[in-house]
Structure 1
Amino acid sequence: MRNIKIAAAVTLLVLGLTSCKDEKQEKAQKTIDSYVAYVDSVKNVSADNLKENWKNVEAEYDRKSQEAQTALADLKDNSAATEKINASKIKYEEFKNEMTTVFAPPAPSPKQQLRDALFGAGKIGDDMNFSWVNAKNIHSVYQQFVHTVENNKDKYSREDWDEVKLMYEALDSRKNTVEKEGLTAEDNRKIAGLKIKFAPMYTVNRMGAKSEENKEAKK
C-alpha cells in the first residue's frame, strides 16, 4: 500500500513538472509570436503616425525583441523559433532603414544651399531675416560672405550671381541699421575694404557668367 502511495505521488509530481514545463514553453512561444506580430503590424502603420511616434515604436520593438530572445531558452527545440526571430529582425531593420529615408528632411534647394554657404547653415531662410546680424558679428558676416564668393566665383551661374547680389544688398541694408547700434569705426573700415573687394568681383564674374550662358544658348 505504501509503495502504491509513493508511486502515485511520484506520478503526480512528474505530471506537475511536465505541465509546468508545457506552460513555460507555451508562454515562450506566445512571446515570440507577439514579437513577430509586432514587426508585421508596424509595417502597416502610416508614415505620418510612425514619424510622430517613432521613439515609442523603437522602444516597444527593443522590449519585445529582448523578451523574444529570452524566451528561446524556454523552448526545447528552438530552431524554428530562432529562424522566425531572425527573419523578423531582418524585416524590421530593412523597414527601419526605409523609414529613416522617409523621415529625413528634404535636401535644401540650390538657392538655400547658396545662402547657407554665404551666411552659415540655416541663418537665412525664405523670410530673409537678418536680425541676427549685429554690431559685434557683422564684420565676420561680411568676411564669410566675400570670401565664400571669392572661392566660388568660377562656379557660379548667372542665377547664382543674381542671388548673391540680392543677399549682398540685404546685408548692406542691415548694415545701415547696425551702424546706429554701436558698430565700431574699425569694423566699419574693414567692412568698407571688403565691399571694395566685392564690387568688381561681382561685376566681372556676373558678366562672364551671362556671356557663357549666351554661348551655350547658341549651340
Structure 2
Amino acid sequence: MKNIQILSGIVLIALGFTSCKDEKQEQAKKTIDSYVSYVDSVKNVAADDLKADWAAVEAEYDRRAENAKLALAEIKDNAAETERINTSKVKYEEFKNEMTAKLAPPVSSKQQLRNALFGEGKIGDDVSFAWVNAQNIHSVYQQFVHTVENNKDSYSREDWDEIKLLYEALDSRKNTVEKEGLSSEDNRKIAGLKIKFAPMYTVNRMGAKSEENKEAKK
C-alpha cells in the first residue's frame, strides 16, 4: 500500500511538471501571437496617424520583440514560431523604413543639388570636402562636371551660384590633395574637366540670368 502511495505521488509530480511545461509553452505561443498581431496592427494604421506617437510605437515594438525572443526558448519544436517571428520582423523593418522616410524633414533644393553633384549626404551645411582624397578626387570632379553638363539647361541663376561656390571649395581641396600623392595622370584628367566646366558655367550662368530678367519683366 505504501509503495502504491509513493508511486501515485511520483505520477502526480510528473503530471504537475508536464502541466507546468505545457502552460509555459502555451503562454510562450500567446506572447509570440501578441508580437505578430502588433506588427500587423501597426502596419494597418495610416502613417499620418502614427507620426505623433512613433517613438512610443517603436518602444512598444522593441518590448514585444524582446518578449517574443525569450518566449521562443520555452517552445521545444519552435521552427514554425521562429518563421512567424522572422516574417513579422521583416514586415516591421520595411514599414519602419517607410515611416523614417516620411518623418524625415524635406530636403531643400540646395541640398538636392549637392546630393546630385557629389552623392547623397556627401556635402552638408559645413561644405566640407575632407572625404575627398588623392584616390577619389578625379571621380569626384568627373561626377560633378558630368552632372552639371547633363542638367545645365535646368539650373537657375541661384543654382549656378551654388555650383560655383562648390566648385571653388573642391578646387581648394585639390590644392591640399596635390601634396598628398595625387598622380600626374589624375591631375591631367582633372585639368581637362576644369577646361570643360569653365565656359559651360560662364555661358549658362549668363543665360539663366537673362531668362530670369525676362520673367521679371513679364
TM interval, shorter chain, is 0.5 to 0.7
1:160 aligned partner: 159
Mark the CA change 1:56 to 1:169 in structure 2 (over 3 Å): closer, same or farther: same
Q: Does 1:209 align with 2:174?
A: no
Q: Distance in 2 between matches of 1:178 and 1:169?
A: 14
Q: Does 1:172 align with 2:171?
A: yes
Which segment is superposed worse, 124-133 or 99-108? 99-108
Letter in 2 for 1:104: L
What displacement does 1:134 show? 0.4
Match of 1:47 among 53, 72, 86: 53
Q: Distance in 2 between matches of 1:101 and 1:138?
A: 32
Q: Distance in 2 between matches of 1:44 and 1:109?
A: 24
Gaps of 5+ in 2: 1-29, 70-91
Letter in 2 for 1:56: D
What displacement does 1:48 show? 5.8
Mark the CA change 1:134 to 1:57 in structure 2 (over 3 Å): closer, same or farther: same
Tell whether the 8 Å contact from 1:135 to 1:181 is kept in structure 2 after alignment: yes
SS at match of 1:121: coil
- Structure with bigger gyration radius: 1
2:110 aligned partner: 111
Mark the CA change 1:137 to 1:52 in structure 2 (over 3 Å): closer, same or farther: same
Tell whether the 8 Å contact from 1:51 to 1:103 is kept in structure 2 after alignment: no
Match of 1:59 among 51, 65, 87: 65
Q: Distance in 1 between matches of 2:120 and 2:50?
A: 36
What displacement does 1:44 show? 9.8
Mark the CA change 1:60 to 1:146 in structure 2 (over 3 Å): closer, same or farther: same
Deviations along 1:26-84, one digit per CA (max 9) or x if unpaired, are xxxxx8xxx7xx879x9899526326626416638989xxxxxxxxxxxxxxxxxxxxx
Mark the CA change 1:51 to 1:140 in structure 2 (over 3 Å): closer, same or farther: farther
Tell whether the 8 Å contact from 1:157 to 1:209 is kept in structure 2 after alignment: yes
What displacement does 1:141 show? 0.4
After TM superposition, which residue ranges in structure 1, 4 or more long, deviate above 4 angstroms? Answer: 42-46, 60-63
Q: Distance in 2 between matches of 1:148 and 1:163?
A: 14
1:88 aligned partner: none
Mark the CA change 1:54 to 1:117 in structure 2 (over 3 Å): closer, same or farther: farther
What displacement does 1:108 show? 1.4
Letter in 2 for 1:179: E
TM-score by length of 1: 0.60
SS at match of 2:162: helix
Q: CA RMSD in A?
A: 3.7
Letter in 2 for 1:123: K
SS at match of 2:155: coil
Q: Distance in 1 between matches of 2:203 and 2:145?
A: 15
TM-score by length of 2: 0.60
| Paired-residue identity, % | 70
Q: How many residue pairs end up in the alignment?
A: 157
SS at match of 1:162: helix
What displacement does 1:129 show? 1.2
Letter in 1 for 2:53: A
Letter in 1 for 2:56: L
Letter in 2 for 1:169: E
Gaps of 5+ in 1: 1-30, 64-92
